[in-house]
Structure 1
């Protein structure tokens, strides 16, 4: 597989075109940097794929046309455009154009009707799988059988394995995309959970503050209730009357001079009368309010 590197836009486009030439034979440039033709055969019949690269390629998918048109699930109905290839559907800037095109060719070669042939020997079958073996001498074939490195090299150039590598890589890229999406969604979910917890904490604090303020309000409401104030004024007026009587008793017993008696008695009586007047006025207002409600 080709290494993944970072390129500028022109380098990425050139790299994609290079993969087209690496993974496919008979690649012809129709229009420089824009359109390419890939010839191939199916059962002795000549076919070709026209690969058209738009101005936004590889950020947008290539257009692949098969000529002559064929009937296949990957090809649009009443059209020659390939639309159903997995590599084309999931094409991204990280895909390999050459692998995608090669996979389309291999699929067409496998899926289109095969002409009747005489029974093939096992050796002939192996030659179809590895056509290059038919060109080797017996000595070269023995050398391959005895040399694991040569066997690996042969397998690495086998179209079936290249197609399998392409499908595997595309599947891995799909899995990576799904994993990245899952991680992003998990991060979003964690952020939402954190936000909910913060909101609950704020709501709890607001509830605590409300309870404290409500308790203070109740206490102040009771403390400054008009009826309670009236009762306090009434009690204070009675207390002032009691204090005035005590001062008078002290004076009558000769325990207080006249000047002190006059000033203290007058002040105490005046305080009591003022409290009684306030209590009566408040009682009158409360009675009016009661009648109004």
Structure 2
């Protein structure tokens, strides 16, 4: 279920109407999205509430009429207009229309049913305690509305917390991947740095020159043993000697450059 701040005006209006049907029985639509009738009974006598929704509902309070008229503190004097129900007084776009209507019907059934008791003494006691009962009802309705409002706020905040949690998880995943990439690049950099280190190159040249000299001596030994023809000996021996000398010359030149660099940095 989406938090209420994501609903458009039509969605909010429809949701309010849906709560009317959820919290109350016998809901009849008299005019689509505008007027509804809710039947109920008190001591076997039939009553109904007419709920009228203006075009600005739920930003504007609903109009609620009781038929036939009931004598009750919540009903305007000489009228059937319900005006003083706590949920109606405090009605906002975050209220539940169905819950407000249900509370009105419940109060009418309770108070009117009791007032129709034929026991004169019970009527007197009820009249004496009526202000306290009404005050208690007001406090109860206000508490219910506050609880509903807090629950709605928690739902909205929970969605935000879930979104933040998902974002944090995505960021952590990205950071972990970046760290792995960095470590791989760092290893490659270290390997390349070692391969192209001037001192390492000098040692490689020195070793390669020695290997070429050893190959030349091996060819000469094979020639002396008669295992290699003269033409082959001359060609390969000269090639290995030239290769060894070239590598030695490069190694010496690099050694000289490194010595100059060491003197310049000390």
> TM-score, normalising length from structure 1?
0.51
Q: Is the 8 A contact 2:212 2:241 kept in 1?
A: yes
Q: Is the 8 A contact 1:248 1:265 kept in 2?
A: yes
2:54 aligns with 9
1:183 aligns with 155
Q: Which structure would you say has the larger RCO, counting Cα contacts within 8 Å and 6 or more residues apart?
A: 2
The Cα offsets for residues 103-151 of structure 1, whole Å up to 9 and x where unpaired, read as xxxxxxxxxxxxxxxxxxxxxxxxxx99xx8xx9xxx835997xxxxx8
Larger Rg: 1
Q: Is the 8 A contact 1:95 1:170 kept in 2?
A: no
How many residues align? The count is 191
Determine whether 1:141 maps to 2:113.
Answer: no
Residue 224 to residue 15, structure 1, CA distance change in 2 (3 Å): closer
Q: CA deviation at 1:228?
A: 1.0
Q: CA deviation at 1:10?
A: 3.7
The Cα offsets for residues 176-229 of structure 1, whole Å up to 9 and x where unpaired, read as 010111122223223323322332233233223322332232223223322111
Q: CA deviation at 1:263?
A: 0.7
Helix, strand or coil at the partner of 2:257: helix
Q: What does residue range 118-137 of structure 1 map to in structure 2 within 5 Å?
A: none
The Cα offsets for residues 34-59 of structure 1, whole Å up to 9 and x where unpaired, read as xx9xxxxxxxxxxxxxx9xxxxxxxx
Q: CA deviation at 1:163?
A: 5.2
Residue 244 to residue 230, structure 1, CA distance change in 2 (3 Å): same
Q: Is the 8 A contact 1:250 1:256 kept in 2?
A: yes
Q: Distance in 1 between matches of 2:89 and 2:248?
A: 96
Q: Distance in 1 between matches of 2:263 and 2:150?
A: 75
Q: What does residue range 98-109 of structure 1 map to in structure 2 within 5 Å?
A: none
Helix, strand or coil at the partner of 2:144: helix
1:242 aligns with 214
Q: Structure 1: which 5+ runs fail to align?
A: 29-35, 37-50, 52-85, 100-128, 146-150
Q: Is the 8 A contact 2:87 2:141 kept in 1?
A: no
Q: Distance in 2 between matches of 1:192 and 1:184?
A: 13
Q: Distance in 2 between matches of 1:192 and 1:14?
A: 35
Determine whether 1:26 maps to 2:42.
Answer: no
Q: CA deviation at 1:259?
A: 1.0
Q: What does residue range 122-271 of structure 1 map to in structure 2 within 5 Å?
A: 141-142=118-119, 161=133, 164-271=136-243
Q: Distance in 1 between matches of 2:243 and 2:64?
A: 108
Q: CA deviation at 1:269?
A: 1.1
> TM-score, normalising length from structure 2?
0.55
1:125 aligns with none
2:26 aligns with none
The Cα offsets for residues 1-42 of structure 1, whole Å up to 9 and x where unpaired, read as xx83664534856843648x97334368xxxxxxx9xxxxxx
1:92 aligns with 92
Question: Which range moved further: 169-178 or 198-207?
Answer: 198-207
